[in-house]
Structure 1
Amino acid sequence: MTRREAGLTLVLMDRLRTQRLPRLQAMHARVTAGDCLDAHDLRYLCVSLEETQRMKSPSIDTREAIRAVLARLYHEITTQALSNEQARFRHAAH
């Protein structure tokens, strides 16, 4: 890994810790409580996922562990959000 790549990884990891993860956790709490995601939330998920894919780490185990945790969080958020949307649609149809 080059010095530039190492620096970029540190920046991305810091952003993940201080910005992305707290926002994803808040989003997860909202959908768990029954809220739906809006277009801004969905766009944020896409950008966050793309940034996660760009993360490099000197340790493959570290990178894969982070990706696994984030993948599970993205899956839980989107699955619950879809369920909430479907419930809202069924409720509106009655």
Structure 2
Amino acid sequence: MPEKRVAVASKVGLHARPAALVAKAAAAQPVAVQIAKAGGDPVAAGSVLNLMTLAAGYGDEVIISAEGEGAEEAVEAVAQLVATDLDA
């Protein structure tokens, strides 16, 4: 199962606008994408509510994973968003 570790780049963490953008991108992938805060349980990345329950703040490391055909591309797409400052 492909996975990638990235630091949350948005100053507000995975809340509000950044969470909505990440959830939308994750839901658009051909496979189910999961995200976990380092040391925590994974949740479905396609849900804004799930992302907000992670309480992942600025600089926190998260692990993004997926399984199935196209998983590597899906993980990379979501990881790039998480690693981008989406506050603007």
Give the TM-score taking structure 2 as reference length.
Answer: 0.32
Considering only CA atoms, is the larger Rg found in Structure 1 or Structure 2?
Answer: 1
Larger RCO, structure (CA 8 Å, separation 6 or more): 2
Give the TM-score taking structure 1 as reference length.
Answer: 0.30
